[in-house]
Amino acid sequence: MTRAAVISGLGGWLPPRVVTNDDLPAELDTSDRWIRTRTGIARRHFAARGSATSDLAVEAGRRALASFGEPNVDAVVLATTTPDRTCPGTAPEVATRLGLEDAAAFDVNAACAGFLYGLACATGLITTGVADRVLLIGAETYSSILDPLDRGTAPIFGDGAGAVVLRAGAPDEPGAIGPIDLGSDGTGAELIRADGGGSRQRLAEGRERDGEHYLTMAGREVFKHAVVRMAASCQTVLERAAVGVADIDRLVAHQANIRIVRQLADELGIERDRVVTNIDRVGNTAAASVPLALLHGVADGTLRPGQRTLLTAFGAGLTWGSTLLTWPDLVLRD
Ligand code: UT7
């Protein structure tokens, strides 16, 4: 029988510090009204100084394992654009802190599409028999690369982590990951980037104070790509699964901007009441965005067992990915 990867646990964590739109620095020359109407964001969480992506990932991973009900997995895949450090990867430390001795552990950097790329990695590990259970975490500390005075990014991004446990199962089970579409276009690499500290733009001692490590984003251009790429990717998945858009109960898209999510839904012909969103509470949490939207959707009842659910994400790279599954019945644990 064909082996499938089945979502069987879900958890997430947000750092306690809440930053409302009104809490943002006055120098940004923005307003609560502008941010809400242009992005849908009302607040976001920022990690405390000294707190790193691994700290968020461990909290989310612990909750996903508790939801799964068993403490062990064979592999940890960590999707992040904001690892603790350039080397080594962050996943091995996360695995160890979760008590997962000897588990395979590696990072995936596909920016805001990282969770979809991570799902593909986890599915590959399971369907090829390399692993029977995989913990996939999307975790980000974007506050560490945000220029607090850039109004094109500072009000948009937030910190957080979301995680799922996937296990080997059957393709017709609820939670089984369906066809996956992934893609990239490096001609758009300049549109969202953080250069400083990489091998091309090395950081001289003390230079990080000049803000070279800050994220920059050509927002308007990225916006257009986001809608077009996610819509095409979703169509590919629907075609591969031979599923019509009328059969999609829920759309869970990367929470970059509520206007992007709505335009995407319109483009696909999915009514607004079938869209799961949490951007008002968390902002754009990049690789953590989709699993946190899943978690909040389950918690507030907008995502229920048995619903055929389309997942899609888009981000820097440019990168994008989509998949389809029937939402499983999961137990959430704090
Ligand atoms: O997660 C990875 C992928 N990321 C995305 O998909 C993000 C995509 N982009 C976006 O979500 C939006 O482009 C932003 C939210 C970043 C910006 O919204 P926008 O509607 O595209 O604004 P804009 O950059 O076209 O600027 C429109 C106006 C400008 O003023 P003028 O030139 O019309 O006078 C900006 O200066 O809004 C101004 N503006 C702001 N005003 C107050 C831009 N940012 C702000 C701000 N507060 N924060």
Residues with catalytic function: 112, 254, 284
Name the residue at shortest CA distance from atom 27 of ligand 1.
220
C-alpha neighbours within 13 Å on the C-beta side of residue 130: 12
**204: confidence class by pLDDT, cuts 50, 70, 90:** low
**Could you give the CA distance from residue 27 to residue 24 in angstroms, rounded to a whole number?**
9
Q: Is the CB of 220 under 6 A from ligand 1?
A: yes
Instruction: Tell me the C-alpha to C-alpha distance, in Å, between residue 119 and each of 39, 110, 113, 250, 277.
Output: 27, 12, 10, 18, 20
Report how far ligand 1's centroid is from the alpha carbon of 292 (Å): 24
Evaluate: CB of 158 within 6 angstroms of ligand 1. no
Instruction: Please give the model's pTM, rounded to 2 decimal places.
Output: 0.97
Q: Do domains 4-169 and 180-326 have the same CATH topology?
A: yes
CA 91/CA 126 separation, integer angstroms:
18
> Which pLDDT band, with edges at 50, 70 and 90, does 278 fall under?
very high
CATH of domain 180-326: 3.40.47.10
Going by CA atoms, what residue is nearest to atom 20 of ligand 1?
Answer: 38
Q: Tell me if 228 CB under 6 Å of ligand 1.
A: no
Give the mean pLDDT of 121-145.
Answer: 98
Fold topology of 4-169:
Peroxisomal Thiolase; Chain A, domain 1 (3.40.47)
Burial of 332 (0-12, 13-18, 19+ CB in 10 A): middle
Kindly give the distance from the C-alpha atom of residue 323 to the centroid of ligand 1, in angstroms, as a whole number. Answer: 29
pLDDT tens digits, 319-330: 999 999 999 999
Helix (H), strand (E) at residue 224 = helix 219-241
Query: Hey, where are the domains in the chain?
Result: 4-169, 180-326
- How is residue 130 annotated by DSSP? S
Core vs surface per residue 116-150: b (16+ CB within 10 A) or e: bbbbbbbbebbbeeebbbbbbbbbbbbbbbbeeeb
Find the radius of gyration of the CA atoms of the chain: 19
CA of 327 to the centre of ligand 1 (A): 34
- Residue % of the chain over a pLDDT of 70: 98
The answer, yes or no, to whether any atom of ligand 1 lies below 6 A from the CB of 75, is no
